[in-house]
Structure 1
Amino acid sequence: MKAATVIGLVIALVGLAGGATIEGTAVTAVIQPPALLIVLGGTFGATMAACGMEGVKSIAPGYKLAMSPPELDLPGRVRELVGLAERARKEGLLALEGELENVEDAYMRSGLQLVVDGTEPELVREVLEGEIDGMEARHKSGYDAFEKAGGFAPTIGIIGTVLSLIHVLGNLSDPGSLGPAISGAFIATLLGVGTANIVYLPVGNRLKKLSGQEAAMRTMVLEGILAIQAGDNPRIVTEKLLTYLPPADREAAREPSGPNLRLADPPGEAQAA
């Protein structure tokens, strides 16, 4: 579900705000400029020091990606690969050259181009696995910034609280103001722990999961391309690729998707017919 991250964050915030309101705490009490400056500014600076400018630049795109991730159509990708396997088996690998312009996925198109060019299977695997490794490294620099921020924020919140308490203890001459001052001091801790566990860490974990899903899809595409190059029977290609899909999606992957992407019958069904 594309909106799962947004829904989850909203539920978490509403739950915390609702619980605080029931207890009689004003939600607006957390809006304290000094605490916000210490926690948000300190966390941002520490994250920049840890991840560098490249990591910081990936924060905004990371939020956008987590809130609205692209759909990975695994069944559709299986149908496309099996259709190409049927074409290659009937007309030869060179026949795929005319299909390359219709392949939308750049990774698949690159792999098929290597196959059409007559590249050795070992080299095809090496090149495509290298692309997966490079993609994962780029993705890691994105979600690593959120994980680092999630680690820094609670500690910086405690630092903010200690700074506030130092100020409070330096003004004990006015006992009547101690209660509100001490209460305000803990706002920094609340902001640090809250932002880490409601924003930074969930978004980082979401991005890590999305990266894993894309890497798994590319691995599936890699195995499909190598099976096409080896001249495997389309039925065998189908069964190989279906192992990468959850059981609930496998039936959809068997459905035809146009005249050029018709799946062969699964093993056993053709004999039964």
Structure 2
Amino acid sequence: MDRLSLVGVIFAVVAILGGNYIEGGHVSTLLNGAAAVIVFGGTLGAGLLQTPATDMQRALKISRWVFQPPDIDFNQGIEKVVGWSMHSRRYGLLGLEKQADLEDDEFLKKGLQLIADGSELEVIRGVLEVELNVREQRDLQAAKFYESMGGYAPTVGIIGAVMGLIHVMTNLAEPSALGSGIATAFVATIYGVAAANLILLPIASKLRSIVFASYQYREMMLEGMLSIAQGHNPVSIRVKLEGYLK
């Protein structure tokens, strides 16, 4: 679990509630069912309207990366490629077929199988680059689902506030209730701005960074497999791939 993300969420919530308490407010003033329905329901509806079903499904699937990001270890990847290189020099490229059977990652499995089958270098590169680019675009589109909702949430919050004020204006005959009514109306704005800047936009940004890191990792592994297919020695392959280390 990514503890930093969890700490970030807790810190944001504590900061808002703590600031509200310091100003003499109560938690109950920030709780409003109608505002929550308008903001969260309206934001979700706008996001669903904009996003194709396949992208939305992918967005829900990768949302777990916020707290449980995929294991992307560049050093481990380099050691894996160097190991394949040493294995191929000992048993030939055909020996990589057994290594492919041991690999869980379908991208790496496909690359090793293509090398073991004696495919041309450009064929290997073409096949794997297509998969690499398509996966990156698919994941970026999924991350955009949260980014789009982050853009809609503040505006929907304003809509909720205006609706609340309309309700207040229809009850001007009760001046004593105006103050609490106006305060309640602006809760929707708080929901919209907070949801966008503390949840949705940070989620989208983190997912994009993970997608980029994953792309770099697979790009590195692709270069490593192409180097194996070209017959480069393990030492030169290691030196080449270490250029990807941050």
Q: CA deviation at 1:60?
A: 3.7
Q: Give a deviation string over 1:72-114, Cα, whole Å, max 9, x none.
A: 1221111110011122223321222232222232211110111
CA contact (8 A) 2:132 2:218 kept: yes
Please tell me the residue identity of whatever aligns with 2:206: R
CA contact (8 A) 1:146 1:203 kept: yes
Residue 63 of structure 2: aligned partner: 63
Residue 183 of structure 2: aligned partner: 183
Q: CA deviation at 1:41?
A: 0.6
Tell me: CA distance 1:51–1:102, structure 2 relative to 1, closer, same or farther (3 Å). same
CA distance in 2, matches of 1:168, 1:10: 34
CA contact (8 A) 2:100 2:108 kept: no
Tell me: CA distance 1:55–1:103, structure 2 relative to 1, closer, same or farther (3 Å). closer
Q: CA deviation at 1:208?
A: 0.8
Structure 2 runs not aligned, ≥5 long: none
Q: CA deviation at 1:23?
A: 1.1
Q: CA deviation at 1:59?
A: 4.6
Residue 20 of structure 2: aligned partner: 20
Please tell me the residue identity of whatever aligns with 2:9: L
Deviates more, 1:103-112 or 1:158-167: 103-112
Tell me: CA distance 1:99–1:60, structure 2 relative to 1, closer, same or farther (3 Å). closer
CA distance in 1, matches of 2:31, 2:61: 26
CA distance in 2, matches of 1:53, 1:116: 37
Residue 229 of structure 2: aligned partner: 229
Q: Count the aligned residue pairs.
A: 246
- What's the RMSD between the two structures over aligned residues? 1.5
Residue 128 of structure 1: aligned partner: 128
- The reply on whether 1:208 has 2:208 as its aligned counterpart is yes
CA contact (8 A) 1:146 1:201 kept: yes
CA distance in 2, matches of 1:195, 1:15: 14
Tell me: CA distance 1:59–1:113, structure 2 relative to 1, closer, same or farther (3 Å). closer
Please tell me the residue identity of whatever aligns with 1:53: A
Tell me: CA distance 1:207–1:159, structure 2 relative to 1, closer, same or farther (3 Å). same
CA contact (8 A) 1:5 1:203 kept: no
Q: CA deviation at 1:149?
A: 0.5
Q: CA deviation at 1:172?
A: 1.6
SS in 2 for 1:171: coil
Q: Give a deviation string over 1:228-267, Cα, whole Å, max 9, x none.
A: 0001111110011111112xxxxxxxxxxxxxxxxxxxxx
What's the TM-score, normalizing by structure 1?
0.86
Q: Give a deviation string over 1:165-209, Cα, whole Å, max 9, x none.
A: 112122222211111111111000000000111111111111111
What's the TM-score, normalizing by structure 2?
0.95
Please tell me the residue identity of whatever aligns with 1:54: T
Residue 160 of structure 2: aligned partner: 160
Tell me: CA distance 1:226–1:150, structure 2 relative to 1, closer, same or farther (3 Å). same
CA distance in 2, matches of 1:138, 1:181: 45
CA distance in 2, matches of 1:198, 1:240: 40
Residue 30 of structure 1: aligned partner: 30
- The reply on whether 1:107 has 2:107 as its aligned counterpart is yes
CA contact (8 A) 1:48 1:55 kept: no
Tell me: CA distance 1:42–1:10, structure 2 relative to 1, closer, same or farther (3 Å). same
Residue 118 of structure 2: aligned partner: 118
SS in 2 for 1:186: helix
Residue 145 of structure 1: aligned partner: 145
Q: CA deviation at 1:219?
A: 0.1
Deviates more, 1:221-230 or 1:12-21: 12-21
CA distance in 1, matches of 2:173, 2:52: 45
CA contact (8 A) 2:43 2:149 kept: yes
Residue 89 of structure 1: aligned partner: 89
Please tell me the residue identity of whatever aligns with 1:27: V
CA contact (8 A) 1:151 1:196 kept: yes
Please tell me the residue identity of whatever aligns with 1:10: I
SS in 2 for 1:243: helix
Q: CA deviation at 1:57?
A: 3.2
Which structure 1 residue ranges, 4+ long, deviate > 6 Å from structure 2?
A: none
